[in-house]
Structure 1
Amino acid sequence: MLAAATAIAAVATAGSLYFSEVLGLVPCEFCWYQRILMYPLVVVLGVAALEGRSGVWRTALPLSTLGVGIAAYHTYLQLSPGVSCGVGGACSAILWEGFFVFTIPRLSLVAFLLISAVLGAVWRRDRGEG
């Protein structure tokens, strides 16, 4: 389970780096907050997966749930016409769209939700409930 969460965090991290370093898209303020929460998850979850430490949910779940909140708010900003944030309303701008539905904050939201779901299952299993 932790390996799956690690893979999700690694793909999300690689994706964010691809958008900024390869495509040249400049991250907005909320994108940076999401990166700050996602990048450490790769290391924290990766080490825990290698060492078999299921108690990592105590560290990783707060990061991922906070990430869900920020990504959800960022998605809300993109869906709300006339709402702007950041310099020049950069946070509400849609810089990339895939399959006519996915934007960068929505991809981040999906990743944080998946990681949170995995960590919730790890938590339940760690507590003997599942």
Structure 2
Amino acid sequence: MEQFTQYLNLSTSFGTILLLISVICIVGMMIKDRFFSKSSEKSFILDYFKEKSLIIGFLIVSASVLISLIYSEVIGYIPCELCWIQRIFLYPQFVILGLALWKKTRDADLYCLALSIIGTVIAGYHFYGQSIDSSVLPSCDVVGGASCSVRYFVEFGFVTIPMMSVTAFFFLVLLMLLHLRNYNK
């Protein structure tokens, strides 16, 4: 099991870095398109993300839900209070995006945007507490739960479970903003 855990930690951390690079590129393209491009010079990459935002979002949410369940139910990492709160804002998006794709509706973006913004803030706070100032985190371990300051692993010097969460949530925020922009012209 230990070898599987190490492989999962490394592969999900690598995926997080790829997602972070994607976030940086998408934000850069959004800024360029908004302030420095004529309407005829818009990015075809952003157009692709706009068109496929619900599908990509559903895949990111599905992977995030699956990975969080593997970490807690298979490997045995006990989720802390902040992890549970992040799950509250992530898991419904699986159903919302799944139904939106199935029913071919476009109104899921606003709901997922709200959930993802709140999730980003909570995950960012959790990452800050784990990495910079653990005194801001709740003492969950006093009441029998896992401590929010426990880092089950750190890969590449900064990738932890809260970093994975903040990256996934922020990527979902960008996707939903692109989707809103695409259909609310």
Give the count of matched residue pairs: 128
1: CA distance, partners of 2:165 / 2:174 = 14
Structure 1 residues not aligned, in runs of 5+? none
* Cα RMSD for the two superposed structures: 1.5
Question: What SS does the aligned partner of 1:53 have?
Answer: coil
1: CA distance, partners of 2:158 / 2:132 = 15
- The aligned residue for residue 124 of structure 1 is 181
- The aligned residue for residue 108 of structure 1 is 165
- 1:18-63 deviation line (CA, Å, top 9, x unaligned): 1101110100000000011101101101111222222211211110
Deviation at 1:81, TM superposition (A): 4.2
Moved more, 78-87 or 34-43: 78-87
Deviation at 1:100, TM superposition (A): 3.5
Question: What SS does the aligned partner of 2:107 have?
Answer: helix
Structure 2 residues not aligned, in runs of 5+? 1-52
2: CA distance, partners of 1:82 / 1:109 = 17
Matched, 1:87 2:140: yes
Percent identity over the alignment is 33
- The AA in structure 1 aligned to 2:169 is F
Matched, 1:9 2:61: yes
- 1:70-116 deviation line (CA, Å, top 9, x unaligned): 00000010012452423248111101233442111110111101111
- Distance change (3 Å), C-alpha of 1:74 and 1:113: same
Which of 10, 15, 27 pairs up with 2:79? Answer: 27
1: CA distance, partners of 2:82 / 2:157 = 22
- Distance change (3 Å), C-alpha of 1:17 and 1:64: same
- Distance change (3 Å), C-alpha of 1:2 and 1:23: same
> Which has more radius of gyration?
2
Whether the aligned pair in 1 keeps the contact of 2:86 and 2:119 (CA below 8 Å) is: yes
Q: Which runs of 4+ in 1 moved over 4 A?
A: none
When normalised by structure 1's length, the TM-score is: 0.91
